[in-house]
Structure 1
């Protein structure tokens, strides 16, 4: 019950304030641990990648469990408030929404989208930029919102922090390129496992918010994605918007053949991005309502 209260308050804090500029973001600290290990012990082997994962998760687990045990000794109300404040820093719906919305208003859309995606942006046309924006919003709705909230609700403050450590490792070293093909393999696989359930919850949520009749129809195209998870929320978003996402994309100077997700037009417009972002309020209301109902249900047991 304490975890649910913490999740409720943390989600509300993220909605109101987003990132706290006056505090060094803990994900930056986790990134520092990853860089620290890589600068000293990098070798493009699976074993070194395993050592990286053990080092980062061991360090983060020690710190997060230590904080959790310390807070458990203080007044429960104060514990929930502090835990919620800390947990909110690992949620990113407001930052995600604001970042994607910036693509719409910026005079230099390529520069803005280059900060959000790993794909090459130099040759992008306007439709490509809008497509990347929508895919980013859909995928990160899982990675940055639903997944951390899922692990916070189940395992408390250590759960959300450890999840973000896994997710950060994947975002930094989980690439299939010359440098990280082997070194990042363990981190990438662990991230796949951690996101398996949240990605599908996110896809169902998107389908529900867009009032799609066949709520599980995202499975058909979603399973075509290289990632065992990313294709599902992306497909759900495509179906909700009546467009096709995916398609051939350049990464690190090389064209990568990708399937299409969804069945609509491939020409993505500004209005499609606005429609994708329009589910932000509905998402927040739905999540807060579900958490409240879960709290009441447990309270009544």
Structure 2
């Protein structure tokens, strides 16, 4: 029951305040830990990449469990308050919404969306920009909101902190390129496993909020994505908004053929993005 209270309060704290400027963000600390290992021990091999995962998760787990045990010395009320404050720093809904909202209202929309996606933005149309904004919002609702809350509910602070360590490793080294193809494989696969259930919960929640009759209609298109998880919330959002997402996209100057998700209009406009953000 205490985990439930912590999850609710943590979400509300993040929704109201977002990131705290007076403290170093713990995800940055995790990133520095990953960078330390990479600088000292990098070798583009699966074995070395698995050692990175073991090293980071070992350090983070010890710190997370120690923190949880330390908080038990406080009264139950204060324990919940402090745990909620700490947990809120591992949830990114306000930051995600603000970043996507910014795309709607800045003059240089391509520059704004380039900060959120890895695809080429130079030759994007306005519709392409809005489509990318919706896709990244839907996908990151799972990684940045639902998955952290899911593991917080199950395992208290160690759950949310360890999940964010896994997710941060994937975001830093989980790329299919010359440098990280092997080194990042272990981190990427672990992230796929960690997000398997939360991504589908996210999709169902989107379908419920959009009052879709068949709440599992996302699955058929969702499984077409190259990621075992990302396609489900993206498809759910497409169905909720009655738009068609996905399709061929340029990455680093190369055209990548991608599946389409959902059915509806392909010309995405500002109102569609706003409707996505309104699905609270």
**Other-structure match for 1:61:** 61
TM-score normalised by structure 1 residue count = 0.92
Deviation at 1:249, TM superposition (A): 1.1
Deviation at 1:187, TM superposition (A): 0.4
**The residue matched to 1:236 in structure 2 has which SS?**
helix
For residues 97-147 of structure 1, what are the alpha-carbon distances to aligned partners after superposition, in whole Å with 9 as ceiling and x for unaligned?
111000000111111111111112112111111011000110011110000
**Other-structure match for 1:215:** 215
For residues 52-105 of structure 1, what are the alpha-carbon distances to aligned partners after superposition, in whole Å with 9 as ceiling and x for unaligned?
101111111111111011111221111111110000000111111111000000
Number of aligned residues: 280
Asked if 1:113 corresponds to 2:80, the answer is no
For residues 188-216 of structure 1, what are the alpha-carbon distances to aligned partners after superposition, in whole Å with 9 as ceiling and x for unaligned?
00000000000000000001111111111
Deviation at 1:252, TM superposition (A): 2.1
Choose 124-133 or 148-157, whichever is displaced more.
Answer: 124-133
Once the two structures are superposed, the pairs formed by residues 33-72 of structure 1 within 5 Å of their partners are 33-72=33-72
For residues 15-64 of structure 1, what are the alpha-carbon distances to aligned partners after superposition, in whole Å with 9 as ceiling and x for unaligned?
11111111111111111011111111111111111011011111111111
Aligned counterparts of 2:252 and 2:62: Cα–Cα separation in 1: 36
Deviation at 1:253, TM superposition (A): 2.1
Choose 180-189 or 245-254, whichever is displaced more.
Answer: 245-254
**The residue matched to 1:202 in structure 2 has which SS?**
helix
Once the two structures are superposed, the pairs formed by residues 79-228 of structure 1 within 5 Å of their partners are 79-228=79-228
For residues 243-295 of structure 1, what are the alpha-carbon distances to aligned partners after superposition, in whole Å with 9 as ceiling and x for unaligned?
11111111222211100001112111111101111112xxxxxxxxxxxxxxx
Asked if 1:266 corresponds to 2:266, the answer is yes
**The residue matched to 1:208 in structure 2 has which SS?**
helix
**Other-structure match for 1:278:** 278
Aligned counterparts of 2:133 and 2:144: Cα–Cα separation in 1: 15
Aligned counterparts of 2:237 and 2:8: Cα–Cα separation in 1: 25
Asked if 1:75 corresponds to 2:67, the answer is no
**Other-structure match for 1:14:** 14
**The residue matched to 2:250 in structure 1 has which SS?**
strand
Aligned counterparts of 1:125 and 1:48: Cα–Cα separation in 2: 41
**The residue matched to 1:267 in structure 2 has which SS?**
coil
TM-score normalised by structure 2 residue count = 0.98
Gapped runs of 5+ residues in structure 2?
none
Aligned counterparts of 1:245 and 1:52: Cα–Cα separation in 2: 35
Deviation at 1:13, TM superposition (A): 0.7
Aligned counterparts of 2:55 and 2:253: Cα–Cα separation in 1: 32
For residues 214-260 of structure 1, what are the alpha-carbon distances to aligned partners after superposition, in whole Å with 9 as ceiling and x for unaligned?
11110110000000000000000001111111111112222111000
**Other-structure match for 2:230:** 230
